[in-house]
Structure 1
Amino acid sequence: MVNQLTIIFRLIEVKDMAIRGIKLKFFKHCIYLVIYSLFRCCQLVFWWLTGVQSHLKSCRNGENYESSAQLLKVWFHSSGRIINFSLRHHFMSTHVNFVHPNYALQKHITLMTVTDKEAIFSIQGECDDVLNVRKWPFLNVGHPTTAKHLLIMPISSMIKLGEELGDPKAKVIWIYHTARCGSTAMSQVFNSLPDVVSISEPNCLFSLDMAFKEKYFEKKKGSWITSDEYQQIYKNAVRLLVKPYKRDANVFAVRSHGYASKADLHLIPKLFPQFVGIFMYRNVKEAAISLTRVSQGIYLHGDCALAVIKNPILSLLFSNLRPSNLLYCSCSEPRHLEWLFKRENIVKSCNFINSVIQFAGACFHYKEVVAKGLPVVAVKYEHLQEDKTRLFKILFEHAGLEMTPERERLIDQALSEDSQKGTDADKKVMAGVKADITQKMVDEANYFLRYYRLPNWGEDILLPKTLGY
């Protein structure tokens, strides 16, 4: 193991500060995983002796539903992890007891991660509000930071709990987006309204998509999105995501994880046609450059990622490093996935071309959904910048919400601040990050844009059913 990790650590010495910073975080996560592995071995022995492991096994087999949710106390979480979603092994936790799955319906508990095997809920302290978008612009950042306990249940229990809960009674506005298009500001707007719960980029549906994508890609099967298993888990994950919380509200505004918007576009209108759907986008040049700049300081790239992915031991330890770097664009086009997996493309493509695929794929799937007559409309960032008041009035009218003078005041106040302040995408942080785009990169981008039947790099785009245009 030491020899395997040495390969990674030697790759940390790089000149680019943004990349160096993320590799240092990865180094911290490696140290954490060594400690966790030792802790986990001792824990499993203890659980085997005390009967905890035997009970867990029976619950995974569909037995003991009434006590199939395991409550864990969190002592530490890996602040140096380089991942997109939190899994069990990113938390140093100890067993408390087994409880009924209904425990998850308490108002201070939120759904954090869903895979094809289990659902993980985060339990915050009494004073913490992880859904406060002003403090946590991205729910996936707030969850691990505020978690005091975890509640983990097998996927069969989550499905049964979701079926018992049923569809949400409140109005739900679902915000799909290409990323870097003003969607975070939109979440801040809804968060500022007293009768709305705003959920910004939950990872539960993204983690589900990644788990199925990797499985289906390896088996060379068709689309996972159309499978009955995937849709059943997905539907009940949404139900548990928009369950009642501390803040009583008549409206939920859920902003998709940017990389999960494609799957959400196809499934939300189909499974929940009563939801109001809004797709946010901007011109491709500005969107791709902005996303490229942000991703330079967030995701592990180049030789370091390649060494992990290609190593049989390290790839098991860092099971979702592959989605973080090669599949995070969440494309479902097989030949694009094949392209991304080629050794020579892993190093050279990660930031820029994935940003283009992310944008183009999201717009393409939006157009497909609109062509089917499903209930989704679009909002363009450039139009929002031109006349915020006019566009929000149109948006509220479409969503069936009243635009009052007090709401106008709250919206103006929310938009006056940096919506991503305090995150890796803070305007002050991003000011010193550059993205050098060459003509060769533009030509490569145009290849994908043409494939998805979108305007070329640098040209304006206007999608069908764009509000006000």
Structure 2
Amino acid sequence: MDILTYIELLVSFTGWVLFMILNSIYNAIRGLWWRMNGVHWQIISCKEPETYGRCAHIKRILFRYTIDGFTKGPECVFVTVHEGFARPECVFQDDCSLYSITSTEAVFIQVKSSPDDALSADFLWLGQYNSAWKLIAIPLNQFNKLVEQMEGDDAKIIFLYNQARCGGTLVTAFFKETGRCVCFNEPTCLSTVCKRIYTDRIWQGATARRIFRNTIRMLCKTTM
């Protein structure tokens, strides 16, 4: 690499570090404000069965920043503000898709433009990142309940293992060209679930299978 490339990388990395620091400060101040105005306690109560009807926490995105997918977590790349609470079924809208699974919640993105802008990208996480307008967070226990109430379908699912520079993006493009397949290349939600299963002792056995199954079903809801 030449000197200009090194400078570009240094500037990008410096910008990312600065963004992470400022975003952490913002999240701390926002968290304090949410405690003062009651939003924090509403978020906690969203886990309770009796609050299922309003357990979806909607946050509007003010700003986003990442460097080549180095960080994909919703709180790491998006700066958000509280907008309100809604029924979890709101994520069944065509403009919503599952983005990430954290240790406590399922995070969806809602796009302002056409849903195809997010779903047709070469990498699903990149299309979602670029098109996201709002984040919708649902506690995992309520997410499981929501998915398990969905009607079943007989769609066939094919998983392709890939690694860096293996040609997976090209193969995905071939599948899309048939017009008979809906393809998701590098969905963050599956990556985060797999990471949790391997690193978190709580996510084992039946719990891991349940989360993984429900994540796949929700990810594929656009094909139903």
> Normalised by the size of structure 1, how large is the TM-score?
0.44
Q: In the alignment, does 2:220 pair up with 1:232?
A: no
3-state SS in 2 of match to 1:64: helix
The offset of 1:188, in angstroms, is 0.8
Q: Is the 8 A contact 1:59 1:68 kept in 2?
A: yes
Q: 2:113·2:131 contact (CA, 8 Å) conserved in 1?
A: no
Q: 1:76 is matched with which residue?
A: 63
Q: Give the partner amino acid of 2:28.
A: C
The structure 2 residue matched to 1:110, chosen from 86, 93, 97, is: 97
1:396 paired residue number: none
Q: What secondary structure is seen at the aligned counterpart in 2 of 1:157?
A: helix
Aligned residue runs from structure 1 range 216-231, under 5 A: 216=201, 227-231=205-209
The answer on 1:141 being equivalent to 2:119 is no
1:405-461 CA distances to partner (integer Å, 9 max, x unpaired)?
xxxxxxxxxxxxxxxxxxxxxxxxxxxxxxxxxxxxxxxxxxxxxxxxxxxxxxxxx
- How big is the shift at 1:79? 3.1
Distance 1:175 1:106, change over 3 A: same
The within-5 A match list for 1:159-198 is 159-198=144-183
* Inter-CA distance 62–36: structure 2 relative to 1 (3 Å threshold): farther
In structure 1, the partner of 2:52 is 65
Shift of 1:209: 1.8
Question: Which of these residues, 7, 16, 27, is aligned with residue 40 of structure 1?
Answer: 27
Q: Tell me the alpha carbon deviations over residues 127-174 of structure 1, each in whole angstroms, 9 at most, x when there is no partner.
A: 352111xxx211121111110111111111111111111544433333
CA-to-partner distance for each residue in 1:64-106, whole Å, 9 max, x for gaps?
1111111111111113476352222421111111011111111
Per-residue deviation, 1:191: 1.8
Matching residue's letter, 1:28: G
Task: Tell me: CA distance 1:102–1:70, structure 2 relative to 1, closer, same or farther (3 Å).
Answer: same
Look up the SS of the partner of 1:200 in the other structure: coil
Gaps of 5+ in 1: 1-13, 250-469
Residue 25 of structure 1: CA displacement? 2.4
Matching of residues 120-159 of structure 1 within 5 Å:
120-129=107-116, 130-132=118-120, 136-159=121-144
The code of the aligned residue for 2:165 comes to R
* Percent identity (aligned): 24
Distance 1:52 1:230, change over 3 A: same
Give the secondary structure class of the aligned counterpart of 2:200: helix
Partner letter of residue 122 of structure 2? P
Q: How many angstroms apart in 2 are the aligned matches of 1:82 and 1:139?
A: 11
For residues 83 and 60 of structure 1, the distance between their equivalents in structure 2, rounded to whole angstroms, comes to 30
Match in the other structure for 2:186: 201
8 A contact 1:26–1:82 mirrored in 2: no
Match of 1:287 in 2: none
Gaps of 5+ in 2: none
For residues 32-54 of structure 1, give each alpha carbon's deviation from its aligned partner in whole angstroms, at most 9, with x where no partner exists: 12222332233223322322111
- SS of equivalent to 2:119: coil
Measure how far apart 1:124 and its partner are. 1.1
- Alignment RMSD, CA only? 2.7
> Given the superposition, is the C-alpha separation of residues 22 and 65 from structure 1 closer, same or farther in structure 2, using an over 3 Å criterion?
farther
Return the alpha-carbon distance in structure 2 between the equivalents of residues 116 and 83 of structure 1: 19
In 2, Cα distance between equivalents of 1:62 and 1:171: 33
The Cα of 1:214 is off from its aligned counterpart by 3.0
Q: Which residue of 2 aligns with 1:30?
A: 17
* Structure 1 Cα separation of the partners of residues 50 and 8 of structure 2: 46
Structure 1 residues 116, 15: closer, same or farther in 2, change over 3 A? same
Q: CA deviation at 1:213?
A: 2.7
Deviation sequence 1:207-265 (CA, Å, 0-9, x none): 1222343334xxxx9xx6x52221111110000000026xxx7xxxxxxxxxxxxxxxx
- Shift in CA distance, 178/156, structure 1 to aligned 2, threshold 3 Å: same
1:2-401 map, 5 Å? 21-61=8-48, 63-80=50-67, 83-129=70-116, 130-132=118-120, 136-216=121-201, 227-244=205-222
The amino acid that maps onto 1:97 is G
1:145 partner SS: helix
**C-alpha contact 1:137 1:200 (8 A) present in aligned 2:** yes
* 1:199 aligned counterpart, secondary structure: coil
Aligned 8 A contact 2:34 2:40 in 1: yes
Distance 2:69 2:169 in 1: 22
Deviation of residue 113 (structure 1)? Answer: 0.5
Q: Closer, same or farther in 2 for the Cα pair 1:179/1:151, shift >3 Å?
A: same
